[in-house]
Amino acid sequence: MPEISRFLGIVIAMYYRDHAPPHFHAVYGEYEATIAIASGEVNGELPKRALAHVQEWRELHREELMNTWTLARASKPLPRIDPLE
């Protein structure tokens, strides 16, 4: 699973040729969730504070995430996305 960002102990990644809808994976310790890029819908579990950081980051990088999703679906190299500061 290619890592596209990392911040505050949270790893953000996308699988190549993953299923729709467009989403990314967030891993924080033993927790993991998928987050829909457009809606922010969460499937899985993250601690409340970690999830808030992930959602803030998603809002800031929504366009980049959609472009990265398109690249992942085409099995092309994925760019790094700036971490949450």
Average pLDDT along the chain, 85 residues, taken 10 residues at a time: 95 93 98 98 98 98 98 95 95
Domain contains 77: no
83 located within any domain: no
Q: Which domain holds residue 47?
A: 3-72
Q: Considering the domain boundaries, does residue 66 fall inside one?
A: yes
Listed in order, strand segments (DSSP E) in the chain are 3-7, 10-13, 23-28, 31-36, 42-45
pLDDT, residue 76, reads: 95
Q: Which amino acid is at 59?
A: E
If one counts the domains in the chain, the total is 1
Q: What is the pLDDT of residue 1?
A: 79
Question: For 78, which DSSP code?
Answer: P
Q: How far is CA 9 from CA 4, 29, 37, 48, 54, in A?
A: 14, 8, 20, 14, 11
How far apart CA 37 and CA 23 sit, in angstroms, is 5
The pTM of this model reads: 0.95
